[in-house]
Structure formats: structure tokens, C-alpha cells
Structure 1
Amino acid sequence: FTNPDSTLLTKAGHHKLCHYIALTDAFPLPIDKEEVSWKCLVKGAHRNEEMINKLEALEANSTLKSRVIDYVWGAGSQLRGELIYKARVAVPSAYSLPGSVTEEELRKALNWLIQRMQLTHPDINAKVCWPVLYSFAQLTSLKACTCSEDKPWQHPIFPHLIKTQWWGRKGEAKKLGNKEDSNPFINTPITLMALVATAVRPFLVGLNIF
């Protein structure tokens, strides 16, 4: 987009879509791409006469409008990609995944975390012990997979990733201050929780061997 007004407008729309993904709908359907992206462009152009004029010009240029919408829509993939990258760094220590276990033990622990959605709970003990043979006797196996099931969505990975993504020095939530009436990030909407959970889960799946 060579026109400066177009660049400013697309950046504003991109920014508004990041907010929309984080605060309203973490996973908008592709069928809603044009409607959602255009609404974000309109919000981004709010009270800016040059951007509003550019919006009106875009409506008459279907090719450029399509390119702008594609760019704005890409904000969702970018945001989710940033979270997945941060999750890759944080997950091993956050879930205390032991480094000395066998491949089979790690597989069992990860299956337990993923399939039963225990990854959202705190106080996880993902240690798995399997039957050991001592001469003629086989001891009963111990499966020490436990967590605080009465505290869903309270695993430390959630505040950690939310803080690093939105409350860091340049984070969007940080810029909006500490007042609830002006900062919708303060009460941690469920969309943020969903984004974090779906960033953590694929990394755990990636560690597994199905």
C-alpha cells in the first residue's frame, strides 16, 4: 500500500482486529472475514477525516479493498502465532515436565494433560511410574498424575502468557491504564483464556508422539 493514508488505515484496522480477537471473539469464522475486518477498519478510522475519506475510496476499489481486508484479517494469525511462540518457551518449566523420563512415560503424561484438559489446572504433578519387575514379583504401578481439579483455568501458564503478551512494557493492556472503565483487559475476558489454552495445547501435542 504505497499511499500513506492507506498504510495508516490498514495499520489502524490491523490494531483494532487484534483487540477484537483478544476481547470479543478469539476465533472468528472465515465466512465473517470481510464483515469483521471492515468494522475494524471503520473503528480504526474513527474521527480521522483522511482515513474516513480513504475508506470511502476503498469501497469504490474492490481490488484494493480486498487487499486491505486480507492484511487486517491477518492480525488474528499474527496474534495467535506470537502466543504459540511464547508458549513454546514457557511450557516445559510451567508444567514441570521431567527431562529424565522415558519416551513412553512422557507420552502417557502428555496424553493425560491433553485429552482430559488437565493442562488448565494448577498444582499439576505429571510424573508417571509404570510396573517394575523384581525377580518373580511385579509391583503395582503408581500413576501420580494429579492436579487441583477444583481450580479450573488457574494454571500459572495463563497469567504468565497473558502478562507477557498484553501487560508487558509495550503491551496493549499496559497502554490502557489501570481503570476498569477504560481498560477491558483488566478483568481477563474468556477470550484471552481461550487464546492461551489453544497456544499451549498444540505445543504439548507437538511434544507427544501419536
Structure 2
Amino acid sequence: MHQTVIGLKEEDQESNKYFSIASVPRSKVKLSNLNSPRTKRIAISAHKAMRLHVATVNSFPSALDREEFCWDLLVSSTRDNEVLWEKMSLIQSDDNLKAYLIDYTWKAASQLRGEFVAKACISVPSTYGIGELKHEELENTIKWMLEEARFIHGGIDIKVMGSQGEGRKWGQKKNSFFNNIPILALISSAVECVLLGIMRGHPMDFSEAHFRPRWDHYVSLLENFEKECPSYLEMIWDELKEGVQTGNIPGAAEDAPTTTFNFSALETAGRAAKARKSGTE
């Protein structure tokens, strides 16, 4: 059930003056259609809360829970602001305005995912060294990268893909990942989306239907990684926090085999690196 706002008993002095807001298509909702300063602040607050949720909790919230979830974000993001909280007590009785704010809040999820894909489109070709490949060579290279989630390793360069290197040039020190599994899984899914689009010759729709299962896969993979080799993962987190603004963690194609790691070897390497670092401090 939706949370109920209990607050203002006096008349709200602001005028929303929203023009037939009920007739605005969901795809066309925008902040400029709201004339009330307080309503705009509420919309902005909930929009930011949705972006934070998508990045740090659940990158693909279910459309089935859309109305209740967005209303809860509207409530929770304004509860500590007395002025906005008073305004919310009026909004909850205005079905048209309430629906509009829910639509605007929900839109933030697809916007943030789109930004991740847009950044991946820019960074993927150079990050993985595939910018100059053509046709069959490009397709074979991307297939190889998608197998067993090889592209999940930062700094991979396809120039070492062959039998000598086996793509083991992994571990670039400057990445923008944070100590947060959901956002790492989102980056992985976005990069996979871009790689599949390059391989198929047309952009892939970064939709819930196509990539929610992939995001779930990466969350599970990263949680297992965290459990099996925490020292190694801690070392990686330390490197990632030095960060730059490009991301390069992907996933596997829909029918890709299960990804496997030598967790014992990675944990040993992580402990050794941690010991070396402690010795130099």
C-alpha cells in the first residue's frame, strides 16, 4: 500500500497552474510542465532518489511495482523537509498531479541506464582495442570476449587474445568502479549491451526484458567473487577507487557458459599484494 502523508491542514499558497497534466503522455513528462516551485523540488528530489536506487540497489526495478515504489520514493525523499512534506499532503489528494510525479520519477531509471550505455558506447572500442577491427575479425573477437565473461576483467586488450597471452592482460589500475556490487553489475550489463550491438550491427535496446536477467547474473557472480576471495577483491576495490571516468565491466551472451575463476589463486595473490602494500607504508 502507498504511504499516507499526514501534514498540512492549511491551504497551500502556491499555484500549480499545470495545464491539463492528465493529458500529457508518460513519455513526455518533464520538469518544465510543473509551475509550482515546491512541486518541482519534490520531483527533483524523487528523481535523484530513483537514480541512486538504480545505481546502488536495483538497476531494473519491476514495472509491476512502479506506482507504489515511485510514490514511496516521493514520500521518503521529502519527509525530512517540512516545506515539501506539507506540499505532499496536498499532492496525495490530486490524482493527476500524483500520477505525473510518479511518471517523472519512474523515468529516471531508464535515463540513468541510458547514460551508462552511452558512456559504454564511447569507451568500449578503445578500452578493449577493437576500434579498428572489421567484419569477421570483429565478430570473432567480441564472441571470444563474451565467452565466460572475459570482458569483465578491466584493461583487457584483444591484442593478447591468442594462445600466448590468452587475453590475460587484465587488471587496469584506473577504472571508475566503486565498492558497490549493483553498480558494477549495471556497468557489466551496459558493456555487454554495447558489445552485442557492435557484433550484430545495430544498437541493442537496454531494456528490462533483455538485460534484467543479465544484471541478476552479474550480481550473483560478483557476490560469489566477494565471498570466495575477499582479499583479492579488496585489492581491486582499492585500485578502482583511484578511478577515472570510464567503465569497462561486462557480462556474457544469453547462452554463454558459466563463468569460472580460480578463487584460491586470486585470494593468495590478493593477500600477497596486501602484505607488500603494508610493508611499504
On whether the aligned pair clears a TM of 0.5, the verdict is yes
State which of 67, 75, 79 in structure 2 corresponds to 1:46: 79
Instruction: Identify if the C-alpha distance between structure 1 residues 32 and 54 changes in structure 2 by more than 3 Å, giving closer, same or farther.
Output: same
Rounded to whole Å, the distance in 2 between the matches of 1:86 and 1:121 is 18
Work out the number of aligned pairs and report it: 168
Q: In angstroms, what is the RMSD of aligned CA positions?
A: 2.6
Rounded to whole Å, the distance in 2 between the matches of 1:107 and 1:144 is 21
Rounded to whole Å, the distance in 2 between the matches of 1:85 and 1:19 is 18
Rounded to whole Å, the distance in 2 between the matches of 1:206 and 1:9 is 37
Are residues 1:188 and 2:172 paired?
Answer: no
Where is the strand percentage greater, Structure 1 or Structure 2? 1
Spell out, residue by residue over 1:170-203, the C-alpha distance to the aligned partner (whole angstroms, 9 max, x if none): xxxxxxxxxxxxxxxxx62111101111211111
- 1:46 shift after superposition: 2.4
Are residues 1:205 and 2:196 paired?
Answer: yes
Instruction: Identify if the C-alpha distance between structure 1 residues 82 and 102 changes in structure 2 by more than 3 Å, giving closer, same or farther.
Output: closer
Contact 2:142 2:199 in 1 (8 A): yes
The letter of the residue matching 1:9 is I
Are residues 1:19 and 2:72 paired?
Answer: no
Spell out, residue by residue over 1:83-109, the C-alpha distance to the aligned partner (whole angstroms, 9 max, x if none): 11111111111111151x441111011
- 1:127 shift after superposition: 4.5
Are residues 1:85 and 2:118 paired?
Answer: yes
Task: List alignment gaps of at least 5 residues for structure 1.
Answer: 130-141, 163-186
Contact 1:124 1:145 in 2 (8 A): no
The letter of the residue matching 2:194 is F
State which of 149, 165, 180 in structure 2 corresponds to 1:117: 149
Instruction: Identify if the C-alpha distance between structure 1 residues 33 and 72 changes in structure 2 by more than 3 Å, giving closer, same or farther.
Output: same
Rounded to whole Å, the distance in 2 between the matches of 1:24 and 1:50 is 28
Q: Secondary structure at the match of 2:158?
A: strand
Are residues 1:8 and 2:41 paired?
Answer: yes
Rounded to whole Å, the distance in 2 between the matches of 1:6 and 1:62 is 14
Structure with greater contact order relative to length (CA < 8 Å, sep ≥ 6): 1
User: What's the TM-score once normalised by structure 2's chain length?
Assistant: 0.53
Contact 1:105 1:128 in 2 (8 A): no
Contact 2:160 2:168 in 1 (8 A): no
Are residues 1:59 and 2:79 paired?
Answer: no
Q: Secondary structure at the match of 2:61?
A: coil
Task: List alignment gaps of at least 5 residues for structure 2.
Answer: 1-33, 202-281
Instruction: Identify if the C-alpha distance between structure 1 residues 205 and 38 changes in structure 2 by more than 3 Å, giving closer, same or farther.
Output: same
Matching residue of 1:146: 166
The letter of the residue matching 2:83 is E
Rounded to whole Å, the distance in 2 between the matches of 1:143 and 1:209 is 26
Contact 2:138 2:199 in 1 (8 A): yes
- 1:147 shift after superposition: 3.2
Instruction: Identify if the C-alpha distance between structure 1 residues 98 and 13 changes in structure 2 by more than 3 Å, giving closer, same or farther.
Output: closer
Contact 2:157 2:167 in 1 (8 A): yes
Rounded to whole Å, the distance in 2 between the matches of 1:7 and 1:194 is 32
Rounded to whole Å, the distance in 2 between the matches of 1:44 and 1:125 is 43
